[in-house]
Amino acid sequence: MEDLPLKNRDVNWLYFNERVLLEAADPSTPLLERLKFLAIFSSNLDEYFKVRISQLRQLKSVDKKLRKKLILKPNKKLKFILKTVAEQQEQFGNIIRDTLDALENHGIHLKRINEINAEQQQYLNNFFNEKIIRDCHILSSKQPENLKDGQLYLIVQFSESDFEFVSVPSNKHQRFIEIPGNGHQYCYLDDVVKLNLKYLFPNKKVLGAYSIKLSRDAELYLEDDYENTELVEIIYESLGKRKSGQPTRLLYDMNMPKSLVSALQTELGLGDVDMVLGGEYHNLSDFFQFPNPFKDNRLSYAPKPPLNHPQLSNSDDIFETISKKDQLVHFPYQKFDVVEDLIGSAAVDEHVSCIKMSLYRIAKTSVLTDALLKALDNGKEVVLFVEAKARFDEENNIKWGRIFEEKGAKVFFSVPNIKVHSKIALVKRVESGRVKNYAYIGTGNFNAKTSRIYCDHGLFTAHKKITNDLDQVFQVLEKELIIPKLKHLLVSPFTTRSTFLDMIAKEINNASAGKKAKITLKMNSLEDSKMIGELYRASEAGVEVRLLVRGFCCLASKSLEGEADNNKPIYVTSIVDRFLEHGRIYLFENGGDEKMYIGSADWMTRNLDKRIEVLVPILDSDIFKELKDILQIQLNDNVKARILDDDDSNKRVDTKDGEPLVRSQYAIYDYLKKKLSEKS
């Protein structure tokens, strides 16, 4: 099976983003929630151009002979991507119009510039001069290198060749400005600036003003030689490159005159593929900010407040509770404060000597950071591994790392060529004269805010064999150990790939022996060709392979035809719903003695070979059943699940007459709520 049928990652990602767009178009999605899905689509696409498209652009500059050896055809692929994006953008615009039209039926109006009456115009003149004008910055057309990545600008035209740029200060002001009128009326901040250009250019005649947005390459190209310079310092000094990096897309107003488009393209030194026709308004990720004028939820999702955890939320002694039995928590269905309680309790507990954590995306302010600072004040040893290369969060992570260092913590930043993506914490507590370890291993970041929207799982355990393994992981991070000797945890880049390959091989052997064989995997993205190849091999051997992949999936779901008589097609679905599916669950039949792991790693080459990732086996039988029940609910989803078939149509799962509808996120909430009531 040398030539594997693999889907292209960059192309397949677009079909993931289409699933987000389809939620915005779904009539069952409340109107204000549709705007949020539109915001997610827009935000995703921006990051895609900053990161993925920038890499494709660089491939274009590779020597053609070398490119041929690498079997890289960025021009062809880039053209297809841009064509697909253009089609999705058109669909995006139609959905926006339909949604805004529907909102008007509820008295919510987002007025265009030509719909603003004289009274509203006067109000906006005053508003602009009192609050906005001081934050609008004018840039000369001769200084296009000063255009910031992702910033909204108006290109203001005075003649065919005379124009300047004006920043729209959406980073300092609300994007949607409330204006007087019947019902609930708003307008774009962009239009407030457009309506008042006479105050910015009092001595010039304005012929027109058009929205533009420049996306720049978001990758930090760091030097390979780290011998004499700390990596963190290189990253910190390189952050400014994002503002002046290579342009990867100029999104411009479709109403802009061709002559102005041509002049702008020349000034910015852009190619034709870099010029992307857009709508009248950009940065529509700002729809996250769109106000809800109603006190009730008539146009939003009904509230689903996080539930108490059956044991941890009512525990008087969190260490005793974890010591007696492993505990599993599910976000956003349950409260994140149980994680905060572990670190908060450790910070003030006289028996705790040390707290160790890996921090991938640190919140700007949080209960956790306060607890860690309190632990330092109380004389605890605090050891933190701060990921300095967490894309778009480097500056905040490094800032916090330095704060912790100043307070006395031992802070370790990224090691060269490897990123720490694991979500782990270890608390050392002296009990009966001996050190006892308490661990937390999760699938999501230590971030209370994202825990309200990301579906994740976290295991609290005092299981000696697991905590001993985790202690070794931290020794690796602290550079005290090179290769850990692990017995239970899967840790990339040491044991994750090899263990999963062994487990797949065992399923293949069991299927060949006529035994029941099954592999059930849930992850965010599936990209690694070797792992995919082994799944194909398992399918051909008769292993039942069931996948749940939220994002891009490079596996061709239909098995290879004619390879084997007992060939079982691989069935793949994806769920995009109210919350962001983020957990990773790996379940193997294992000859009737099922094995299950949860953790931070997807099946991408970077997660298996180039990052520190930690996955933990589920050893407690009650927790195993609970997690398997939740996984099965998701596999049964026939409301929000879409089939990832080879035609990339994102079609919904078919339901039979009389079959109950399962919307898995709501069903999981009800499942956990019922368990909580039974515990009470």
Distance, CA of 211 to CA of 209 (rounded, Å): 7
Whether residue 539 contacts residue 569, with contact meaning beta carbons closer than 8 Å, is answered with yes
184 is catalytic: no
Q: Helix/strand/coil (H, E, C) string of 316-344? A: CCHHHHHHHCCEEEEECCECCHHHHHHHH
Q: What angle do CA 572, 577, 579 make, to 5 degrees?
A: 115
Rounded to 5 degrees, φ, ψ at 41 are -55, -50
Distance, CA of 555 to CA of 552 (rounded, Å): 9
Q: Is 652 helix (H, G, I), strand (E, B) or coil?
A: strand
Distance, CA of 411 to CA of 311 (rounded, Å): 33
Q: Is 550 annotated as a binding residue?
A: yes
Helices (H) and strands (E) in the chain, counts: 21, 26
Taking the CA atoms of 638, 641, 645 and 648 in sequence, report the sign of the dihedral they define.
Answer: positive
* DSSP code, position 308: P
| 117: Cβ contacts below 8 Å, ≥ 6 apart | 181
Strands 518-523, 544-549: parallel, antiparallel or unpaired by DSSP? parallel
Q: Is 454 annotated as a binding residue?
A: yes
**Ramachandran bin of 641, using left for φ above 0, alpha for ψ from -120 to 50, beta for the remaining angles:** beta
How many residues make up the chain in this entry? 680
Helix axes 394-406, 231-238, angle to 10 degrees: 130
Q: Helix/strand/coil (H, E, C) string of 342-374? A: HHHHHHHCCCEEEEEEEECCCCCCCHHHHHHHH
Count the Cβ atoms, other than its own, within 10 Å of residue 446.
26
Rounded to 5 degrees, φ, ψ at 651 are -75, 155
> Which residue blocks in 407-477 are alpha helix, DSSP H?
464-477
Rounded to the nearest angstrom, the gap between the alpha carbon of residue 292 and the centroid of all alpha carbons in its chain is 25
Q: Is 94 annotated as a binding residue?
A: no
Run of H or E including 109: strand 108-111
Distance, CA of 448 to CA of 335 (rounded, Å): 9
Tokens of residue 102, six digits? 């529907």
Contacts 24+ apart (CB under 8 A), 464-471: 464/437, 466/439, 466/441, 466/616, 466/617, 466/619, 467/426, 467/437, 467/438, 467/439, 468/437, 470/424, 470/426, 470/437, 470/439, 470/441, 470/614, 471/426, 471/437
Rounded to 5 degrees, φ, ψ at 358 are -105, 135
Per annotation, catalytic residue among 421, 457, 463, 488: 421
Residue 579: which of 338, 362, 364, 306 has the closest Cα? 306
Tokens of residue 195, six digits? 């309506």
> Which residue blocks in 128-257 are alpha helix, DSSP H?
189-195, 197-200, 231-238, 241-244
Whether residue 576 contacts residue 642, with contact meaning beta carbons closer than 8 Å, is answered with yes
Q: Is 584 annotated as a binding residue?
A: no
Q: N- to C-terminal Cα distance for the chain?
A: 55
Q: Is 221 annotated as a binding residue?
A: no
- The binding site consists of 44, 361, 391, 454, 550, 582
Which amino acids are annotated catalytic?
Answer: 421
- The binding site for ATP consists of 44, 454, 550, 582
